[in-house]
């Protein structure tokens, strides 16, 4: 409703990630695929850009330094009701995926991810008729690897504890130091033995 600098009718894509390198790479990749990319590395900038530029799409990192990308999702939607938000994270878990979708994200992908997958997720179900009737993802044929299961469980309890690491470690019956170390590592891929 207010002014925006959209000269053309194309609305930009807002890229929010605290990793400058990642932003640069993905920016280039998305720009070359026809998007007008604007980017931010923290919540405040992201909010401002969203308000001013009314982006159509948003690629949002879950972990923005100290801040939490999840909080931004509802705000973005109130600023730009029709924005499609794609969550992206190197520390993916089912618990945070559930949270993200509940808060209105359109999809959730785990890093590392290639730009084509990002574009696909962004555009999925966009251009008109939804086809979510026979588009169901199938369950993996293999159960979760042990590491993965552990990761998911940790994430869930951690969420339950509002991110309190000490409390989570206590409930999980593990050493706080061990939890810290585990959290600092990246999650395991979904498929055991599947290289990235």
Residues in touch with its own copies (CB under 8 A): 62-63, 68, 70-71, 89-99, 101-103, 107-110, 120, 132, 134, 136-150, 152-154, 156-157, 160-162, 170-174, 188, 190, 192-193
CB of 115 to its own copies, least distance (A): 15
Among 78, 163, 171, 190, binds DNA (CB under 7 A): 163
Q: Are 58 and 14 in contact (CB under 8 A)?
A: yes
182 is a site residue for DNA (CB under 7 A): yes
Q: E strands, 22-119, where?
A: 37-40, 57-61, 63-64, 67-68, 84-89, 107-110
* Smallest separation (angstroms) from DNA to the CB of 175: 3
Contact status: 171 vs DNA (CB under 7 A): no
d(CA 190, CA 43): 29
Full DSSP string of 87-102: EEESS--HHHHHHHHH
- Partner in contact with 184, chosen from its own copies, DNA, none, beta carbon below 5 to 8 Å by kind: DNA
Task: Name which of 175, 151, 171 is nearest 161 in CA terms.
Answer: 171
Which one of residues 68, 174, 188, 189 is an interface residue with DNA (CB under 7 A)? 174
């Amino acid at each position: 409703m207010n002014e925006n600098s959209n000269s053309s009718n194309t609305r930009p894509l807002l890229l929010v990630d605290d990793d400058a390198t990642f932003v640069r790479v993905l920016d280039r990749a998305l720009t070359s695929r026809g998007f007008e990319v604007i980017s931010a590395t923290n919540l405040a900038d992201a909010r401002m850009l969203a308000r001013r530029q009314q982006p159509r799409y948003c690629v949002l990192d879950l972990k923005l330094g100290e801040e939490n990308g999840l909080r931004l999702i509802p705000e973005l939607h109130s600023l730009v009701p029709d924005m499609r938000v794609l969550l992206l994270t190197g520390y993916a878990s089912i618990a945070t995926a559930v949270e993200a979708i509940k808060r209105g994200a359109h999809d959730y992908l785990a890093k590392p991810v290639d730009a084509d997958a990002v574009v696909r997720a962004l555009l999925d179900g966009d251009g008109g008729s939804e086809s979510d009737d026979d588009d169901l993802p199938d369950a993996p044929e293999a159960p979760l690897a042990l590491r993965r299961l552990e990761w998911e469980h940790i994430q869930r309890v951690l969420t339950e504890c509002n991110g309190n690491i000490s409390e989570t470690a206590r409930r999980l019956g593990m050493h706080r130091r061990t939890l810290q170390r585990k959290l600092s590592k990246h999650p395991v891929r979904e498929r055991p033995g599947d290289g990235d």
